[in-house]
Homo-oligomer: A and B are copies of this chain.
Amino acid sequence: MNKKTFQNRIERCTSIMKAEGYNILLLIKPSNMYYLTGDGRLCAYAMVTHDGKVAIGVPKTDIDDVKRSAYFDSVVGFEDEVGMIHSIAHYFEHFDIKKGTVGLEYSFLTQSMMGIVTHPHAKPRDVLPKDCTHIMSGLRVVKENQEIDRLRQSALVADIGIKAAIEAVKPGTSESRIAAEAEYAMRYAGAEGFWRTYVSSGSRTGIAHGLPTNRKLESGDLVMIDVHPVVDGYSSDVCRTVCVGKPSIEQQSAYDVYLKAQQATVAKARAGVGMVELGETMHGIMKNEGHGEHIFGPPIHGIGIDFEESPLPPGHAFFHGEKEPPPLPANVVIAIGNCGLYSESWGVRVEDTVVVGDEGPIILTTYPYFLNLT
């Protein structure tokens, strides 16, 4: 990515800002800052004006470092929280914005952070705050080719993580140690870090968010492994479920149904498809096979700089402060298989990262599908 990439993104951003009447955006969410400026870090902010001027505020220690990655020159360092507030005020003045609308990330800012960025010493009184979540999601939802290249790299690393995790599955090993193997292999394959690594086993495969514990695997357990490595700023998402020993007939049957539903949904990931249609495909097959009561969670979500981003299914989108997405254009990237099929005492899930292509799906994560390790 070069300066032109970011100028282009800023241009697309400002044209939406003008159309919707935003004078300036004040961004704090690292992924949004990263997308528009080339740098996204903690305790920092970026301001983008409707005519395309960009300013970045960082801890004073970080000025040189941020200049190495961000594509814009107006960088100010602050000493502490009070300094941050004053530096925001400085840029409002510098950009001569005394009234109008400032876009803030309502789906990211806590009440306390809202208090900071709208503090009378930060924001001019007549500049009114308004949510800009949908602007940033709208910009980021269709991936550029170079973003898809990075997602492809990330998916390769995710496959390596799943392989290492599955190879470590045996009775007596803890969920946390399975996670250790996955994360170690992914860092050695090029991951800078991870979003959450989920590893659950036994009855814990039946819960919605199976973060690893020190529970030890037992023979007959299912093990659900879901990884999200960050490679060159981009995250992929792959989940596999395997059995410690030979699965029961019920486990194998549930797995087969889930995989059938997931694969049928993947097959429909082509330009023009809607999130609702994809979700109904996935849920529909599970319902037809008698598992209507066993479904939980949004079946699909977008993926990119964040491991869960727009597009989101309608209900989930509302909860996350996002808008319901229109039919998906080509080069939206989604994770398919995010809901689970949960029985009384275990669950199965299979998830892949997929590019919505003009002609059909381009599947980025390619680790094979099998429940039975024996």
Of the candidates B61, B65, B187, B316, the one whose C-beta lies within 8 Å of that of A177 is: B187
Of B188, B192, B209, B319, the contact of A112 (CB 8 Å cutoff): B319
CA distance A210 to B98 in the complex (A): 36
A322's nearest neighbour on chain B, judged by CB, is: B112
Asked if A111 contacts B114 (CB within 8 A), the reply is yes
In the complex, what distance in Å separates the CA atom of A41 from the CA atom of B179?
A: 18
Least Cβ–Cβ distance between A324 and chain B, in angstroms: 13
Please tell me if the beta carbons of A315 and B82 are within 8 angstroms of each other in the complex: yes
Is residue A220 within 8 Å, beta carbon to beta carbon, of the partner chain? Answer: no
Specify which of B62, B64, B190, B321 is in contact with A208 (CB 8 Å cutoff). B62
Q: How many copies does the complex hold?
A: 2
Select from chain B the residue with minimum beta-carbon distance to A208: B59
- Contact in complex: A65, B203 (CB < 8 Å): yes
B203 touches A176 (CB 8 A): no
Q: Is the interface of A mostly helix, strand, loop or mixed?
A: mixed
Q: Given known contacts A207-B61, A207-B65, A315-B82, is B321 in contact with A110 (CB within 8 Å)?
A: yes
Given the interface pairs A61-B208, A209-B43, the reply to whether A81 lies near B193 with Cβ below 8 Å is no
B207:A81 contact, CB within 8 angstroms: no
Contact of A321 with B111 in the complex, beta carbons under 8 Å: yes
**Given A180-B183, A315-B80, A42 and B209 touching (CB < 8 A)?**
yes
How many angstroms between the C-alpha atoms of A43 and B106 in the bound complex?
Answer: 18
Cβ of A211: which chain B residues have Cβ within 8 Å of it? 192-193
Nearest-neighbour CB distance to chain B for A339, whole angstroms, equals: 10
Q: Does A5 contact B (CB under 8 A)?
A: no
> Which residues between 213 and 238 of chain A lie within 8 Å of chain B, taking CB atoms?
213-214
Q: Which of B82, B131, B177, B209 contacts A188 (CB 8 A)?
A: B177
- A177-B188, A180-B188, A208-B43 as given contacts; A61 in contact with B340, CB under 8 Å: yes
How big is the A interface, by class? 35 or more
Q: Indicate if the CB atoms of A207 and B62 lie closer than 8 Å.
A: yes
Asked if A204 CB lies within 8 Å of chain B CBs, one says yes
Provide the residues of chain B in CB contact with A41, threshold 8 Å: 207, 209
- The reply to whether B59 and A296 contact each other, CB–CB distance below 8 Å, is yes
Question: Is A318 located at the chain interface by the 8 A CB criterion?
Answer: yes
Check A110 against B112 for contact (C-beta < 8 Å).
Answer: no
Kindly state whether residue A268 has any CB partner on chain B within 8 Å.
no
In the complex, which residues 42-79 of chain A have their Cβ closer than 8 Å to any Cβ of chain B?
42-43, 58-62, 64-65, 79
| Listed residue (A183, A203, A204) with the most chain B CB atoms within 10 angstroms of its CB | A183
Q: Mark A69-111, 1 if CB is under 8 A from B, else 0.
A: 0000000000111100000000000000000000010111111
For chain A, residues 180 to 207, give those with C-beta under 8 angstroms from any C-beta of chain B: 180, 183-184, 187-188, 190-193, 197, 203-204, 206-207
Cα A167 to Cα B270 in complex, Å, equals 49
- A285 close to chain B: CB less than 8 A: no
Q: Which residue of B lies closest to A183 (CB)?
A: B183
A342 at the interface (CB under 8 A from B): yes
B192 touches A214 (CB 8 A): yes
Asked if B203 and A320 sit within 8 Å, CB to CB, the answer is no
26 A–B contacts from the bound complex (CB under 8 Å): A41-B207, A41-B209, A43-B209, A58-B208, A59-B207, A61-B206, A61-B296, A62-B208, A65-B204, A104-B111, A106-B111, A106-B112, A107-B110, A107-B111, A107-B112, A108-B110, A109-B111, A112-B321, A116-B319, A177-B187, A179-B187, A179-B193, A180-B183, A180-B187, A183-B184, A184-B184
- Please give me the 5 A-B residue pairs with the lowest Cβ-Cβ distance, nearest first: A112-B321, A106-B111, A180-B187, A59-B208, A81-B319
